[in-house]
Amino acid sequence: MLPVVRRCGETSLLKWISQSKIYKRTVQNHTTSHILMRQRRMKRFPVFSSSKKTIITRADKDTTDLSEFTTDRIRNFCIIAHIDHGKSTLADRLLEMTGAIAKSDRNKQVLDKLQVERDRGITVKAQTASLFYNHQGQQYLLNLIDTPGHVDFNYEVSRSISACQGVLLIVDANQGVQAQTVANFYLAFEAELTVIPVINKIDLKNADPERVGSQIEKLFDIPREECIKISAKLGTNVEKVLEAVVDRIPPPVARTDDPFKALVFDSSFNHYRGVIANIAVFGGQVRKGDRIVSAHLGKTYEVNELGLLRPEEHQTQGLSAGQVGYIIAGMKDVKEAQIGDTLYHREQPVEALPGFKPARAMVFAGMYPMDQSEYQGLRSAIERLTLNDSSVSVQRDSSIALGAGWRLGFLGLLHMEVFNQRLEQEYNASVIVTAPTVPYKAILSSAKLIKEHGSEEITIVNPVQFPDRSVVSEYLEPVVLGTIITPDTYTGKIISLCLSRRAVQKNMVYIDDQRVMMKYLFPLNEIVVDFYDLLKSLSSGYASFDYENAGYQSADLIKLDILLNGLPVEELTTIAHKDRAYTTGKAMCERLQDAIPRQMFEIAVQAAIGSKVIARETIKAYRKNVLAKCYGGDISRKMKLLKKQAEGKKKMRLIGRVEVPKDAFINVLKRDK
């Protein structure tokens, strides 16, 4: 079916937005003019005068007393944007201008602290930094949270938003509004935060801030005059951003004379100091030596240390209502101070804050230690890392080939890779990761099974547990609503790509005279592995993509078994759409053929649906005589070679008589899509 393309003016675009799912979910009782009204209520902002003198000071380093910062002198905000639009660069510049970091640290992206962030050049973890800023003779405490841009780390953005009253929405002056700009805007909008649009990279040759300003006006109903045009790299107009933060973002609503109440919005584990919790104080105050309780476990702790993050830890005498900082209270176990927990004074219990909605895993994979003797070490590494990344779900699992391990749920494939890399870099733990799968569902028809599971509907996160067709009335696959924004020259190619992924077009509109926004309903399985890379390469990097959950749809699914000489290999079992069964099966057989060394007998590698074989490769017989290498009669050399061969065999998994090297086997698993 041919897509309907509309060039639309503001009214039709707004109409379209109002019909879209994201909009409905977000603003059921609002109209876009509410954004305007809300922004106008904060109407202390319209004039930006570059002649306004800004005095920037550095706070006293060691004896910081925050008592002068009553809530009206505090602003909490986060920086949100599409990937690479310059969040971290702007954050650096703000830190530099307010004296939190030295000028010599320019462009070092100090808030990207993790090794994985520096290696990949992306932010994966939200980072907090407190700035002292003198505006019109008044000293302000600004708490900034720099957030990741990639869709896989959206959970970080939504958590950060809960500690803020406003956001800086950064848009690249050349690329314009992109898919994650839209998604992040709605996250802020849903939380009723003040949005300050900032058009960045105006120094670029192809920058077109006017066009971007009109996109922002059309899509978000924010008057274009409210956009601040900056170059974070060169520092141009960044001062205006600081002024706008103070003028436009409302102070937090919190009272110092209420009982102490704080939300743990982030948490990490330090080997020597235990749990370090990042908190937003919603009421009252807390000081060193206070006895506080964690609502989650009901345990009492003594506050050993607290302070601001600037972005390094900077001890203070206390933290009070509206402030954001860190706290260390002798929590030694990762189960303490969970993200979303509420802290309060032992003598003044309060009702717990609502916390966070758990993240919904999009991709599941098995994770196993390389050797079972490393199981305990890996368990504690996973526990500590999930404290810092609470969007990962963990369930114990075991496999015949790989032993005891876990089934982990991630928000996407990049998230899975980053978690794996962090395990290696931060905990020195090397792991085996199995093929990723999306969470399918089945509606059971067998009364016996329904009784066993306690419900008609089951979720399948491990392909081995895929129930047979004979006991199922319907299989369901997860679907997502994808947003693609692209220059219109690439629409033809992108539509073909989407159709090849079983996607159904929902909408297509022009957001300006060259750029198109398309909405497609995708089976999640079709985009999880390589869709984003393909989209980028066929649009020369210009198209952007974001998606949100859109529930489940009925699907013709099958379980695909891989057999070695007739015996099924449990770990290679996958769930596939019926139309994809042959290509997936054939590709896996071919890879397995390459991965298994020849043995003394012929090996049949087969892909099968039930008892029906759909693809086959053969590994020819071969005799590997290690001793043939030994001419002469050196017995010690012969023994060494035999020992080496025996050690090699230990790393083999036996399937029937077939020896499969463990690592080769995993390589097949990893690339089964």
Ligand X SMILES: Nc1nc2c(ncn2[C@@H]2O[C@H](COP(=O)(O)OP(=O)(O)OP(=O)(O)O)[C@@H](O)[C@H]2O)c(=O)[nH]1
Sites of contact with ligand X (CB under 6 A): 81, 83-89, 109, 122-123, 148-149, 200-201, 203-204, 231-233
Minimum CB distance to ligand X smaller for 121 or for 403: 121
Contact 482, 553 (CB under 8 A): no
Note the helical H segments in 428-564. Answer: 447-453, 491-500, 524-527, 531-538
662 bridge partner residues = none
Minimum CB distance to ligand X smaller for 73 or for 415: 415
- CA dist 587 and 673 (Å) reads 8
- CA dist 391 and 411 (Å) reads 7
Structure tokens at 455: 């419900």
Best CA proximity match to 542, nearest among 491, 500, 499: 491
Peptide bond into 311 cis (omega under 30): yes
**Least distance CB 522 / ligand X (angstroms):** 23
Minimum CB distance to ligand X smaller for 89 or for 160: 89
**Least distance CB 549 / ligand X (angstroms):** 22
**Least distance CB 210 / ligand X (angstroms):** 17
Minimum CB distance to ligand X smaller for 129 or for 562: 129
Pairing of strands 228-229, 261-270: unpaired
- CA dist 324 and 77 (Å) reads 11
Note the helical H segments in 42-197. Answer: 87-97, 115-120, 154-161, 179-190
Contact 565, 656 (CB under 8 A): yes
Best CA proximity match to 370, nearest among 397, 394, 405: 405
Best CA proximity match to 306, nearest among 350, 260, 253: 260
**Least distance CB 17 / ligand X (angstroms):** 24
DSSP 610-657: TTEEEEEEEEPP----GGGG--S--HHHHHHHHHHHHHHHHTEEEETT
User: Crossing angle of helices 32-41/10-19, nearest 10°?
Assistant: 100
Minimum CB distance to ligand X smaller for 80 or for 607: 80
Pairing of strands 363-369, 324-328: unpaired
Q: How far apart are the first and last CA of the chain?
A: 27
- CA dist 501 and 340 (Å) reads 37
Backbone angles phi, psi at 12, to 5 degrees: -70, -35
Q: How far is CA 126 from the centre of its chain?
A: 10
**Least distance CB 122 / ligand X (angstroms):** 3
Minimum CB distance to ligand X smaller for 149 or for 166: 149
Binding region for GTP: 81-88, 146-150, 200-203
**Least distance CB 27 / ligand X (angstroms):** 25
Best CA proximity match to 327, nearest among 313, 346, 338: 313
Nearest residue (beta carbon) to ligand X = 149
In sequence order, what are the residues at sequence separation of 6 or more whose Cβ sits closer than 8 angstroms to the Cβ of residue 554? 474, 475, 476
In sequence order, what are the residues at sequence separation of 6 or more whose Cβ sits closer than 8 angstroms to the Cβ of residue 38? 192, 194
Helix (H) or strand (E) run with residue 196 in it: strand 194-200
Backbone angles phi, psi at 168, to 5 degrees: -100, 115
Contact 92, 106 (CB under 8 A): yes
**Least distance CB 180 / ligand X (angstroms):** 8
**Least distance CB 200 / ligand X (angstroms):** 5
Minimum CB distance to ligand X smaller for 92 or for 336: 92
| One-letter amino acid of 18 | S
- CA dist 517 and 548 (Å) reads 15
**Least distance CB 535 / ligand X (angstroms):** 17
**Least distance CB 232 / ligand X (angstroms):** 4
What is the signed CA dihedral for 179, 364, 421, 122, rounded to 10 degrees? 10
Binding region: 81-88, 146-150, 200-203
Minimum CB distance to ligand X smaller for 145 or for 476: 145
Minimum CB distance to ligand X smaller for 320 or for 391: 391
**Least distance CB 127 / ligand X (angstroms):** 10
Helix (H) or strand (E) run with residue 172 in it: strand 166-172
**Least distance CB 124 / ligand X (angstroms):** 8
Minimum CB distance to ligand X smaller for 414 or for 581: 414
Minimum CB distance to ligand X smaller for 73 or for 93: 93
**Least distance CB 269 / ligand X (angstroms):** 23
Minimum CB distance to ligand X smaller for 174 or for 462: 174
Structure tokens at 626: 């290690």
Contact 488, 514 (CB under 8 A): yes
Minimum CB distance to ligand X smaller for 70 or for 421: 421
